């Protein structure tokens, strides 16, 4: 099968955004979440649900699902730079923010997990065959529990962009995956944080699958000099809003890139 070029993918992205903008101008609501069958993201055409979801009683599942608390998560797990014998290669960063509900109230005692590529854009995963070096001192996973004000902090390495096979010369912007578990395993939500001024934003169909520009902007962490550690790391602030019109976009179950 012949793969599309970046120019063809970009034309599709712009056409969908124009269609969404016309809908808002006509009185419709902004598209805060991607369309299930967002054509520029090729695999969404094959993986999105085509039938009504089957609703089940979650009580039996939740009865045996894991419970999380401070006794289960060590404070050291939020520092991805100290998990091995030596320091990982790359730009050290501090990522901090708050988990909030739609009313701006803090979500306390929330399990937050992150995973990411290393500084060369390579994941420690057997399916990642990107010919970039693995870092023996960086696994790329961490977790933390939010505090009384919904706050979280991670120390890590800024990830690199990487190629993927959506179309010819497709590259994903640098990003960190975030997972939030709610009060039970069945409430898990997954999203991504990006970095400011990435030149790949306009070319990436996953980022661009959110037609509303304001909703896309909420996925970008802001550089915060007050979070930077002198002579050690640069700081980024990123709040996660779980509900409401200003909520942070969350991935579907089949989104993994």
Going along the chain from its start, the domains and CATH numbers come out as 6-241 (2.60.130.10)
Q: Which of the pair, 200 or 126, is modelled with greater confidence?
A: 200
* Active-site option among 92, 98, 143, 172: 172
DSSP per position, 107-160: --S-EEEEEE--TTS--SSTT---SS---TT---EEEEE--TTSEEEEEEEPPP
* Active-site option among 38, 162, 194, 207: 162
Q: Residue 57 — very low, low, confident or very high, per pLDDT cuts 50/70/90?
A: low
pLDDT at residue 255 greater than cutoff 60: no
Is 98 annotated as catalytic? no
Average pLDDT over residues 28-43: 89
Average pLDDT over residues 203-215: 94
pLDDT value of position 103: 87
pLDDT value of position 112: 94
* Active-site option among 38, 41, 123, 236: 123
Which of 78, 98, 237 has the alpha carbon at shortest distance from 156? 78
Q: Residue 187 — very low, low, confident or very high, per pLDDT cuts 50/70/90?
A: confident
Is 172 annotated as catalytic? yes
Is 225 annotated as catalytic? no
pLDDT tens figures, 88-120:
999 999 999 999 988 889 999 889 999 999 999
Give residue 121's region: left, alpha or beta (phi > 0; psi -120 to 50).
left
pLDDT value of position 36: 83
* Active-site option among 122, 143, 167, 175: 175
Report the chain's mean pLDDT, rounded to a whole number.
Answer: 88
* Active-site option among 143, 177, 216, 218: 177
């Amino acid at each position: 099968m012949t793969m599309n070029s970046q120019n063809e993918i970009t034309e599709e992205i712009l056409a969908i955004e124009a269609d969404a903008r016309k809908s808002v101008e006509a009185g419709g609501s902004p598209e805060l979440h991607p369309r299930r069958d967002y054509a520029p993201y090729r695999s969404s055409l094959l993986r999105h649900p085509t039938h009504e979801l089957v609703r089940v009683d979650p009580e039996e599942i939740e009865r045996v699902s894991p419970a999380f608390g401070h006794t289960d998560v060590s404070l050291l797990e939020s520092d991805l730079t100290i998990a091995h014998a030596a320091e990982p290669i790359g730009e050290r960063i501090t990522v901090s923010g708050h988990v909030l509900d739609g009313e701006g109230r803090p979500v306390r005692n929330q399990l937050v997990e992150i995973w990411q590529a290393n500084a060369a854009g390579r994941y420690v995963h057997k399916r990642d065959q990107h010919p970039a070096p693995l870092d023996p001192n960086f696994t790329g996973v961490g977790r933390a529990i939010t505090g009384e004000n919904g706050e979280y902090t991670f120390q890590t390495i800024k990830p690199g962009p990487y190629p993927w096979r959506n179309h010819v010369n497709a590259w994903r912007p640098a990003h960190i995956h975030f997972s939030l578990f709610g009060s039970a395993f069945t409430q898990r939500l997954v999203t991504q944080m990006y970095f400011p001024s990435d030149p790949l934003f306009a070319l990436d169909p996953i980022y661009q699958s959110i037609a509303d520009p304001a909703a896309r902007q909420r996925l970008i962490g802001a550089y915060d000099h007050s979070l930077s550690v002198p002579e050690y790391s640069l700081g980024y602030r990123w709040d996660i809003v779980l509900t409401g019109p200003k909520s942070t976009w969350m991935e579907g179950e089949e989104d993994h890139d």
